[in-house]
Structure 1
Amino acid sequence: MDRLHSDPGLLVCPDFTNECYCASCVPFISATITKEQAAESLCLVWVATNDDLCIQWCHQLAEETCISAKQAQAAAAAEATHLHQVHQLEEEMAKADKQKKNRFKHTNILMCPCPDTNEEEAFVSDFVLQKIDKGHFIEFYYWTNIGLEEALFSYSTRDDEGLIPSEQDGATVWISAVASKPSKQVVPDRFLSPVDFAQAVPRVVAALKEHDWPNQWVLMLARFWVAIMTHQYWNSNDQIAQQALMIYQEEQQRAWHNAVVLGNGAWDLSIISNTVLGRLFDHVLCES
């Protein structure tokens, strides 16, 4: 049905007895119907048609009013949502500024053992620091007691070694040739003992925070390592279960770092995949 563009109730019925409507009356005139009667019939038809149009006009107005109300409601809801988002953003920015001013007050508590604060044990090689700055995977060995002792020994004998240039933050820095290379004694994560691994975790977390890794990354990795150390395989008497768990930790962390570097999208490591861990357990069992 075509939409009306004006109120038909404002129209006035024409005078069909007027000469200008003679052509309209002719089809109704007969031997028994006079011109006046034909004009009256046309008037009745016009009034009936106009009444129908008035009813259509009322329905059309009601429909338009309903549509306008829904549009106004949707616009009000959208505006309210926008204002809420703006208010929430302002609150988050204010909270972030407050946390910057009171950084130590808002430091997150990591669910991991208390780290050893001995400065000598916290000393790692330049090779490790470069890896951390680039966001690369690095073996936990470098934060074990043995790895830290090796780094300290290399540092104490640096005068007897050659120096090579290294680009750091756009500047050339001279570093020890030995310290710029991976350790020849490095032990893959999968072969670390639970004790060495547990000792290294808080030191790694502290190093990541010190080198400005994104807070989201640091928290996720910390939760990942806590999940490893609280998994049922961690304290299992079954050596195969422990080895499968350590292999899982190494492979998942290495794959996650590769995904970040390649830009393929990383995932939440703290969610342990028991399916993958089960396959590793079966693989280790078959090879044992």
Structure 2
Amino acid sequence: MTRLSADPHLEQCPDFTSTDLQSSCAPLLGPSTTDEQAAAILTTIWTATNSTLRIRWQGQLAADALAAAEEQRIIDEASTQHVAAEKLQADLLAEEDKKKNRLHHIPIPDRPCPTRASEAILVSDFALRKLDKVQFIELYYWTNKGLADARLNFHTTDDDSLVPTTATDGSTTWIAANAACPASGVIADHLLAPLDFSHAIPRFIASLQQRGWDSSRVLMLANFFGALMSHTYWTSDNALERHALLAYQEEQRRAWHQAIPLPAGAWNIALIDEVELSRTFDRLYHAERERADLDFEFKVRSFILKFQIDINVVCFISTCYPHLLS
């Protein structure tokens, strides 16, 4: 349908009785139709036509309004999507920058210097990097000796020395050389003294919190260590039972870390597996028995060998130098 170019509401009905419009009335004139009647008929026709055009005009205005609203909606939606895309891109770039320059984005609280700042622990960069990767790391790094080693390396290592390494996303990054190598003389968890183990636990948990670990995982590990230190083996007079508890801790925590990225996932490590703990004790017990048996066998063989040597010496002397025995 052809669009209307003018508002019909603004049009005025012509005066069909005027001499200028006599030609319009002429076709309607007849024996029974006067000039006035013809003008009235034309006026009625014009009024009806104008009313129809007015209705079309209102519909046209409504359609134009809907089209304009839809066009504006599309423009607004495109603008919103563009802004959202720019924000997402900016967020991704900011997140990437935080990963690459983590130290630049660590918030510094507005507070005075802590009164005991000199007593703050300094943990090995290598150990902290393991925590950032959610990988197993020995508790040795949080013992007194491990912290002393970290402080010594902090003062003696060239911090400008960098080595390439693979980040968690597969990209290559450069890190300090002392963060790429484990400390020398690391003691495995199952060989730690119970006192060193108990010293390391609160420091280890604090490091997990400082490195941004999920609170549920931190709580799970804290409960795990608490369950170990409240176990009957922990206060046992039997050194082998204490050793079994430390060995169980190391094996379970190592397996737990390895299981986290796997499809099946990890488990609640805080739930002590008494069956596995008993197996660990049995394995250590049998290993200790084998060692004791080997030591005993070695002593017996040494005694027999010495006895045989003594007999041979006596026989030799009695044969070659009998006067020495008289």
TM-score by length of 2: 0.49
* 1:126 counterpart = 2:125: yes
Aligned partners of 2:244 and 2:229: how far apart in 1? 13
Query: Given the alignment of the two structures, is residue 200 of structure 1 paired with residue 205 of structure 2, yes or no?
Result: no
State the alpha-carbon separation in 2 of the partners of residues 265 and 158 from structure 1.
Answer: 38
| CA deviation after TM superposition for structure 1 residue 183, in Å | 1.5
Say which SS state the counterpart of residue 220 (structure 1) adopts: helix
Distance 2:276 2:158 in 1: 48
Q: Deviations over 1:171-190 (max 9, x none)?
A: 95551x24420122111100
Question: Which stretch of the first structure deviates more once superposed, 151-160 or 211-220?
Answer: 151-160
Aligned to 2:186: 186
Matched, 1:247 2:269: no
What SS class does the counterpart of residue 251 from structure 1 fall into?
helix
Size of the aligned set, in residue pairs, is 171
- Answer 1 or 2: which has greater helix percent: 2
d(CA) in 2 for partners of 1:151 and 1:183? 8
**Residue 152 (structure 1) aligns with:** 151
Closer/same/farther in 2, CA of residues 142 and 188 from structure 1, 3 Å limit = same
Q: Aligned residue for 1:261?
A: 261
1:261 CA drift (Å):
2.4
User: What CA deviation, in whole Å up to 9, does each residue of 1:98-124 have, x standing for no partner?
Assistant: xxxxxxxxxxxxxxxxxxx77556211
Please show how residues 265-284 of structure 1 align to structure 2 within 5 Å: 265-284=265-284
Alignment of 1:89-238 (within 5 A): 122-159=121-158, 162-165=161-164, 172-175=173-176, 177-238=177-238
CA pair 174-272 structure 1, distance change in 2 beyond 3 A: closer
Note the C-alpha offset of 1:263. 3.4
TM-score normalised to the size of structure 1? 0.55
Q: Distance in 2 between matches of 1:228 and 1:119?
A: 32
Question: 5+ unaligned residues in a row in structure 1: which ranges?
Answer: 1-116
Query: Paired residue for 2:323?
Result: none
CA contact (8 A) 1:241 1:281 kept: yes
From the superposition, tell whether residues 160 and 260 of structure 1 become closer, same or farther in structure 2 (CA, over 3 Å).
closer
SS at match of 1:261: coil
Matched to 2:196, the amino acid is D
Query: Deviation of residue 148 (structure 1)?
Result: 0.6
Q: Percent identity?
A: 43
Pairs within 5 Å for 1:34-113: none
Provide the C-alpha distance between the structure 2 equivalents of 1:168 and 1:282, rounded to a whole number of angstroms.
Answer: 40
Distance change in 2, residues 1:120/1:127 (3 Å) = farther
1:285 corresponds to which residue? 285
Amino acid at match of 1:281: F
Distance 1:242 1:171 in 2: 42
Q: Which runs of 5+ in 2 are unaligned?
A: 1-115, 289-326
Q: Secondary structure of 1:282's match? A: helix
The structure having more radius of gyration, on CA atoms, is 2
